[in-house]
Amino acid sequence: DGGITQSPKYLFRKEGQNVTLSCEQNLNHDAMYWYRQDPGQGLRLIYYSQIVNDFQKGDIAEGYSVSREKKESFPLTVTSAQKNPTAFYLCASSIEVRGLDTEAFFGQGTRLTVV
Amino acid sequence: SQKIEQNSEALNIQEGKTATLTCNYTNYSPAYLQWYRQDPGRGPVFLLLIRENEKEKRKERLKVTFDTTLKQSLFHITASQPADSATYLCAPTLSNSNSGYALNFGKGTSLLVTP
């Protein structure tokens, strides 16, 4: 089945540690996105990528890093510089970013808890 | 600055009635607007897309309107069912935000349909 997979579903880390969230898609989509969702808040865009080896900062990129070495994969690293890393993280993909009338497909999310 | 506003209060309606959710936006002119459904602990799922030259779009029990003069989209669910209970997110596409052309979402409106 085609889709977008995030792993793990739940992740616990100690404060000060970097952690990498996985996102893989087999939809052959060029565009991939990372969002963060906090209780009572909407989805806030962290980073997005339009093509392999290229990515752009979203509205809340500070404390995060990404890579796009393969079309299928867009991992997100939450660094120790991120002040409030505990949140629900969502990865999405679409055919292309500038194909504005194309839907986004979301993964099931990773709930990160930093203690 | 650009804003996307959805009813922050939960909408409670009785089964069989029509639910109407509102999405207002300010300080930009999106060419498209998408609606998504999100269940607790899961990623959003695409429902409908409407273009600026389309006043109304329908899909089964769903209807979306897009009024570029009022800067507003209305999302209707007719003959609502308890299974429709979820959070509904609107996503007008932004063309001049820090996020480039990536999808930006409202905070969502929670809908509860009671038997």
| A1: helix, strand or coil | coil
Output the pLDDT for position A102: 76
Tokens standing for residue A104: 């986004």
Inter-residue contact B5 to B105 (CB < 8 Å): no
**Chain B residues in contact with A100 (beta carbon < 8 A):** 31-32, 93, 101
Output the pLDDT for position B96: 45
Tokens standing for residue B16: 């069989």
pLDDT tens digits for B62-78? 999 999 899 999 999 99
Output the pLDDT for position B47: 97
Inter-residue contact B13 to B68 (CB < 8 Å): no
CA distance B3 to chain A (A): 12
Q: What percent of chain A has pLDDT over 90?
A: 76
Tokens standing for residue B49: 């897309």
Query: Which residues make beta-bridge pairs with A24?
Result: A5, A73
pLDDT tens digits for A29-72? 999 999 999 987 889 999 999 889 999 999 899 999 999 999 99
Output the pLDDT for position A98: 62
Contact B106 A42 (CB under 8 A): yes
Contact A100 B93 (CB under 8 A): yes
What are the residues whose beta carbons fall under 8 Å from the beta carbon of B49, sequence distance 6 or more? A101, A103, B32, B33, B34, B35, B57
pLDDT greater at residue A97 or residue A69: A69
> pLDDT band for position A1 (50/70/90)?
low
**Chain B residues in contact with A33 (beta carbon < 8 A):** 102-103
- The one-character DSSP state at B18 is P
Partner residue opposite A58 with nearest CB, options B46, B49, B102: B102
* CA dihedral for B58, B93, A42, B22, sign (positive or negative): negative
pLDDT beneath 50, residues of chain B:
96-98
> A84, A89, A43, A88: which is closest to A66 by C-alpha?
A89
| B82: helix, strand or coil | helix
Output the pLDDT for position B3: 83
Residue with tokens 């308890």: B82
Contact A101 B32 (CB under 8 A): yes
